[in-house]
Protein backbone atom coordinates (compact mmCIF):
# COMPACT_ATOMS: atom_id res chain seq x y z
CA UNK A 1 0.00 0.00 0.00
CA UNK A 2 1.36 3.39 -0.99
CA UNK A 3 2.25 5.66 1.94
CA UNK A 4 0.24 8.86 2.00
CA UNK A 5 2.16 12.12 2.02
CA UNK A 6 1.66 15.49 3.59
CA UNK A 7 0.57 14.33 7.06
CA UNK A 8 3.69 14.79 9.18
CA UNK A 9 6.57 12.50 9.90
CA UNK A 10 4.41 9.61 11.23
CA UNK A 11 2.44 8.88 8.06
CA UNK A 12 -0.86 10.52 8.90
CA UNK A 13 -2.25 8.62 11.90
CA UNK A 14 -1.74 10.48 15.19
CA UNK A 15 1.11 12.68 13.83
CA UNK A 16 3.11 12.32 17.05
CA UNK A 17 0.47 13.99 19.23
CA UNK A 18 -0.83 10.91 21.04
CA UNK A 19 -4.46 10.13 21.97
CA UNK A 20 -7.07 12.82 22.48
CA UNK A 21 -6.87 15.54 25.10
CA UNK A 22 -5.57 19.11 25.10
CA UNK A 23 -2.13 18.03 23.87
CA UNK A 24 -3.56 16.50 20.71
CA UNK A 25 -6.06 19.27 20.02
CA UNK A 26 -3.61 22.14 20.61
CA UNK A 27 -5.65 23.61 23.47
CA UNK A 28 -2.72 24.06 25.84
CA UNK A 29 -3.12 26.31 28.94
CA UNK A 30 -1.52 29.73 29.06
CA UNK A 31 2.06 30.22 30.18
CA UNK A 32 2.36 30.14 33.98
CA UNK A 33 -0.83 28.10 34.59
CA UNK A 34 -0.23 25.37 37.19
CA UNK A 35 -3.40 23.33 36.97
CA UNK A 36 -5.51 25.49 39.24
CA UNK A 37 -3.21 25.98 42.22
CA UNK A 38 -1.86 29.44 43.00
CA UNK A 39 0.95 30.01 40.48
CA UNK A 40 4.50 30.84 41.49
CA UNK A 41 4.40 34.45 40.31
CA UNK A 42 1.39 35.12 42.58
CA UNK A 43 2.47 33.03 45.58
CA UNK A 44 5.80 34.85 46.06
CA UNK A 45 5.47 38.42 47.43
CA UNK A 46 7.15 41.41 45.84
CA UNK A 47 10.25 43.01 47.32
CA UNK A 48 11.62 46.41 46.35
CA UNK A 49 15.27 45.43 46.13
CA UNK A 50 15.46 46.15 42.40
CA UNK A 51 12.77 48.78 42.16
CA UNK A 52 13.54 51.26 39.40
CA UNK A 53 16.58 49.29 38.23
CA UNK A 54 15.81 50.09 34.59
CA UNK A 55 16.13 53.83 35.28
CA UNK A 56 19.22 53.86 37.50
CA UNK A 57 22.24 55.79 36.30
CA UNK A 58 25.41 53.82 35.67
CA UNK A 59 28.99 55.12 35.78
CA UNK A 60 31.86 53.17 34.26
CA UNK A 61 34.77 52.84 36.73
CA UNK A 62 38.18 54.27 35.82
CA UNK A 63 40.99 53.52 38.25
CA UNK A 64 44.01 55.73 38.83
CA UNK A 65 46.19 52.78 37.90
CA UNK A 66 44.53 52.56 34.50
CA UNK A 67 44.79 56.32 34.03
CA UNK A 68 48.51 56.30 34.86
CA UNK A 69 48.96 53.42 32.41
CA UNK A 70 47.31 55.44 29.62
CA UNK A 71 49.50 58.45 30.40
CA UNK A 72 52.69 56.36 30.41
CA UNK A 73 51.79 54.90 27.00
CA UNK A 74 51.20 58.36 25.56
CA UNK A 75 47.53 57.77 24.84
CA UNK A 76 46.50 60.59 27.19
CA UNK A 77 48.31 63.94 27.10
CA UNK A 78 48.69 65.27 30.68
CA UNK A 79 49.59 68.77 29.38
CA UNK A 80 46.02 69.24 28.10
CA UNK A 81 42.70 69.14 29.97
CA UNK A 82 41.27 65.62 30.07
CA UNK A 83 37.59 64.92 29.65
CA UNK A 84 35.48 62.01 28.44
CA UNK A 85 36.47 62.51 24.78
CA UNK A 86 40.18 62.00 25.53
CA UNK A 87 39.50 58.96 27.71
CA UNK A 88 37.37 57.27 25.04
CA UNK A 89 39.81 58.08 22.22
CA UNK A 90 42.58 56.55 24.36
CA UNK A 91 40.49 53.37 24.69
CA UNK A 92 40.64 53.73 28.43
CA UNK A 93 36.92 53.38 29.05
CA UNK A 94 33.75 52.51 27.14
CA UNK A 95 30.62 54.58 27.72
CA UNK A 96 27.26 53.64 26.18
CA UNK A 97 24.60 56.32 26.77
CA UNK A 98 21.88 54.10 25.29
CA UNK A 99 22.52 51.61 28.11
CA UNK A 100 22.00 54.20 30.87
CA UNK A 101 25.68 55.11 31.16
CA UNK A 102 26.06 58.66 32.43
CA UNK A 103 29.83 58.89 32.31
CA UNK A 104 32.89 57.83 34.29
CA UNK A 105 33.52 57.30 37.98
CA UNK A 106 37.11 57.81 39.14
CA UNK A 107 38.07 55.17 41.74
CA UNK A 108 41.09 55.08 44.05
CA UNK A 109 42.71 51.83 42.88
CA UNK A 110 46.35 52.67 42.20
CA UNK A 111 46.38 55.86 44.29
CA UNK A 112 49.78 54.93 45.75
CA UNK A 113 51.46 54.80 42.32
CA UNK A 114 49.71 57.71 40.60
CA UNK A 115 52.22 60.49 39.88
CA UNK A 116 50.80 62.58 37.01
CA UNK A 117 49.79 66.23 37.25
CA UNK A 118 46.51 66.53 35.35
CA UNK A 119 43.36 68.57 34.96
CA UNK A 120 40.61 65.97 34.62
CA UNK A 121 36.84 66.19 34.35
CA UNK A 122 34.77 63.14 35.31
CA UNK A 123 31.20 62.56 36.40
CA UNK A 124 31.95 61.11 39.84
CA UNK A 125 35.10 60.64 41.93
CA UNK A 126 35.94 59.06 45.27
CA UNK A 127 37.55 61.13 48.01
CA UNK A 128 40.83 59.21 47.95
CA UNK A 129 41.06 59.53 44.16
CA UNK A 130 40.62 63.30 44.46
CA UNK A 131 43.31 63.43 47.15
CA UNK A 132 45.77 61.40 45.04
CA UNK A 133 45.42 63.80 42.10
CA UNK A 134 45.55 67.01 44.14
CA UNK A 135 48.59 65.76 46.04
CA UNK A 136 50.53 65.87 42.75
CA UNK A 137 49.30 69.38 41.96
CA UNK A 138 46.40 68.28 39.76
CA UNK A 139 42.78 69.36 39.59
CA UNK A 140 39.57 67.31 39.55
CA UNK A 141 36.11 68.49 38.46
CA UNK A 142 32.91 66.46 38.52
CA UNK A 143 30.25 67.52 36.03
CA UNK A 144 26.92 66.25 34.70
CA UNK A 145 26.06 65.53 31.07
CA UNK A 146 22.57 64.76 29.85
CA UNK A 147 22.27 61.72 27.50
CA UNK A 148 22.33 63.80 24.30
CA UNK A 149 25.36 65.84 25.36
CA UNK A 150 27.08 62.66 26.53
CA UNK A 151 26.52 61.00 23.15
CA UNK A 152 28.02 64.05 21.40
CA UNK A 153 30.99 64.09 23.78
CA UNK A 154 31.65 60.38 23.20
CA UNK A 155 31.46 60.62 19.37
CA UNK A 156 32.31 64.20 18.39
CA UNK A 157 33.37 63.47 14.80
CA UNK A 158 30.07 61.73 14.02
CA UNK A 159 28.22 64.77 15.34
CA UNK A 160 30.39 67.31 13.50
CA UNK A 161 29.80 65.53 10.18
CA UNK A 162 26.07 66.19 10.53
CA UNK A 163 26.67 69.92 10.29
CA UNK A 164 24.49 70.73 13.29
CA UNK A 165 25.17 73.48 15.85
CA UNK A 166 26.58 72.34 19.19
CA UNK A 167 23.65 72.27 21.65
CA UNK A 168 23.58 73.58 25.18
CA UNK A 169 24.36 71.13 27.93
CA UNK A 170 21.39 70.56 30.20
CA UNK A 171 21.59 71.23 33.92
CA UNK A 172 21.51 68.24 36.31
CA UNK A 173 18.16 66.87 37.56
CA UNK A 174 16.87 67.77 40.99
CA UNK A 175 18.29 64.72 42.75
CA UNK A 176 21.84 65.48 41.49
CA UNK A 177 21.95 69.23 42.09
CA UNK A 178 23.19 68.80 45.67
CA UNK A 179 26.03 66.51 44.57
CA UNK A 180 27.35 68.87 41.89
CA UNK A 181 27.02 71.93 44.14
CA UNK A 182 29.10 70.26 46.87
CA UNK A 183 32.69 71.54 47.02
CA UNK A 184 33.77 68.27 48.66
CA UNK A 185 32.82 66.45 45.47
CA UNK A 186 34.56 69.13 43.37
CA UNK A 187 31.26 69.80 41.63
CA UNK A 188 31.26 72.11 38.64
CA UNK A 189 28.40 74.13 40.17
CA UNK A 190 30.19 74.66 43.51
CA UNK A 191 31.52 78.00 44.70
CA UNK A 192 35.24 78.29 43.71
CA UNK A 193 36.10 79.76 47.12
CA UNK A 194 34.53 76.78 48.87
CA UNK A 195 36.39 74.42 46.52
CA UNK A 196 39.69 76.02 47.55
CA UNK A 197 38.79 75.54 51.21
CA UNK A 198 37.80 71.91 50.57
CA UNK A 199 41.18 71.29 48.90
CA UNK A 200 42.98 72.48 52.03
CA UNK A 201 40.76 70.42 54.33
CA UNK A 202 41.38 67.28 52.28
CA UNK A 203 45.14 67.87 52.41
CA UNK A 204 44.99 68.12 56.20
CA UNK A 205 42.88 64.99 56.43
CA UNK A 206 45.31 62.83 54.42
CA UNK A 207 48.47 64.55 55.68
CA UNK A 208 50.08 66.02 52.57
CA UNK A 209 51.14 69.53 51.56
CA UNK A 210 48.88 71.00 48.90
CA UNK A 211 50.99 72.41 46.01
CA UNK A 212 50.37 76.02 44.98
CA UNK A 213 49.15 75.67 41.38
CA UNK A 214 49.21 79.46 40.85
CA UNK A 215 53.02 79.28 40.67
CA UNK A 216 53.02 76.28 38.35
CA UNK A 217 54.10 76.67 34.73
CA UNK A 218 50.97 74.73 33.72
CA UNK A 219 48.67 77.03 35.71
CA UNK A 220 46.78 78.15 32.60
CA UNK A 221 45.97 74.55 31.70
CA UNK A 222 45.15 73.55 35.28
CA UNK A 223 42.73 76.47 35.66
CA UNK A 224 40.71 75.70 32.52
CA UNK A 225 37.04 74.96 33.19
CA UNK A 226 33.99 74.43 31.05
CA UNK A 227 30.94 76.61 31.31
CA UNK A 228 27.97 74.72 32.83
CA UNK A 229 26.31 74.86 29.38
CA UNK A 230 29.46 73.95 27.44
CA UNK A 231 30.19 70.46 26.06
CA UNK A 232 33.67 70.78 24.50
CA UNK A 233 36.76 72.67 25.60
CA UNK A 234 37.20 75.70 23.32
CA UNK A 235 33.85 75.29 21.52
CA UNK A 236 30.82 77.24 22.68
CA UNK A 237 27.17 76.20 22.23
CA UNK A 238 25.76 77.30 18.88
CA UNK A 239 29.00 76.92 16.95
CA UNK A 240 29.17 74.64 13.90
CA UNK A 241 32.34 72.67 13.10
CA UNK A 242 32.83 72.27 9.34
CA UNK A 243 34.95 69.13 8.97
CA UNK A 244 35.29 69.45 5.17
CA UNK A 245 36.65 73.01 5.18
CA UNK A 246 38.21 72.71 8.66
CA UNK A 247 36.44 75.83 9.87
CA UNK A 248 34.34 76.81 12.86
CA UNK A 249 31.20 78.81 12.09
CA UNK A 250 29.92 81.12 14.81
CA UNK A 251 26.40 82.60 14.98
CA UNK A 252 26.01 86.37 14.61
CA UNK A 253 22.25 86.77 15.02
CA UNK A 254 21.36 88.42 18.33
CA UNK A 255 18.51 85.99 19.02
CA UNK A 256 20.80 82.99 18.60
CA UNK A 257 23.49 84.56 20.76
CA UNK A 258 20.93 85.27 23.46
CA UNK A 259 19.52 81.74 23.29
CA UNK A 260 22.88 79.93 23.49
CA UNK A 261 24.25 82.23 26.20
CA UNK A 262 21.23 81.78 28.49
* Residue 34, helix vs strand vs coil: coil
How many CA atoms lie within 13 Å of 87's alpha carbon, on the beta-carbon side?
28
The pairing of beta strand 240-242 with beta strand 247-249: antiparallel
Phi, psi (deg, nearest 5) at residue 124: -145, 155
Give the pLDDT confidence score for residue 3 in this predicted structure.
64
Look at residue 239 in the predicted model and tell me its pLDDT: 95
The angle subtended at Cα 120 by Cα 87 and Cα 194, nearest 5°, is 155
Domain coordinates of the chain in residue numbers? 58-232
Residue 46: its pLDDT value, please? 84
pLDDT in tens, the chain (262 residues): 566 666 666 666 777 788 888 888 888 889 999 999 999 999 998 888 888 888 899 999 999 999 999 999 999 999 999 999 999 999 999 999 999 999 999 999 999 999 999 999 999 999 999 999 999 999 999 999 999 999 999 999 999 999 999 999 999 999 999 999 999 999 999 999 999 999 999 999 999 999 999 998 999 999 999 999 999 999 999 999 999 999 999 999 999 999 998 8
pLDDT at 122 (0 to 100): 96
- Whether 249 and 225 have beta carbons less than 8 Å apart is answered as no
Query: For the chain, what is the HEC assignment?
Result: CCCCCCCCCCCCCCCCCCCCHHHHHCCCCCCCCCCCCCCHHHHCCCCHHHCCHHHCCEEEEEEHHHHHHHHHHCCCCCCCCECHHHHHHCCCCCCCHHHCEEEEEEECCCCCCCCCCCEEEECEECHHHHHHHHHCCCEEEECCCCHHHHHHHHCHHHHHCCCCCCCCCCCCCHHHHHHHCCHHHCECCCCHHHHHHHHHHHHHHHCCCCCCHHHCCCHHHHCCCCCCCCCECCECCCCEEECCCCEEECCCCHHHHHHHHC
Amino acid sequence: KEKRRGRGRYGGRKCGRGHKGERQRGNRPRLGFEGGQTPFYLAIPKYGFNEGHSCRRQYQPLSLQRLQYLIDLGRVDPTQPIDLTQLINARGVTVQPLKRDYGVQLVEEGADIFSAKINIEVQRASELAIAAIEKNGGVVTTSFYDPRSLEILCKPVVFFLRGQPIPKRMLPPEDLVRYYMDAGNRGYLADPCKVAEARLELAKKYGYILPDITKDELFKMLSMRKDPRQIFFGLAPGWIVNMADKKVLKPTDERLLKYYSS
